[in-house]
Amino acid sequence: MILNGVCVIWRGWIDLVRLDGMGCLEYDEERAQHEDALAQAAFEEARRRTRDFEDRDRSHREDLEVSEGGGRRTARPPQPLPFSH
């Protein structure tokens, strides 16, 4: 279970008839490490995609500057974004 962004395990019991019980929350180290790895991977993927976009944008701008200097605008068409899951 994730409670306020912290991975925890609830241990205890609940009487569903009386709605009474006792329990506690324990920090789930293993799950927290797994969630952290997923977050880091997502962050790195976003950073890679941003860097790729900036590289394509810079290349496109350079092509436009070169073509405008010759009087003709012959910039190459934009490349499609890579699809990832």
Contact by Cβ (8 Å): 21, 12: yes
State the pTM of this model: 0.53
Task: Name the token pair of 64.
Answer: 């436009």
pLDDT at 49: 96
In this prediction, residue 71 carries a pLDDT of: 52
Instruction: Supply the mean pLDDT for the chain.
Output: 86
Q: Write the pLDDT tens digit of every residue in 3-22.
A: 777 889 999 999 999 999 99
Q: How far apart are CA 40 and CA 51, in angstroms?
A: 16
Whether 73 has a pLDDT exceeding 70, the answer reads no
pLDDT of residue 51 exceeding 90:
yes
Q: Any idea where the domains of the chain sit in the sequence?
A: 2-11+24-69
Question: Contact 32/20 with Cβ under 8 angstroms?
Answer: no
- How far is residue 53's CA from residue 60's CA, in Å, rounded to a whole number? 10
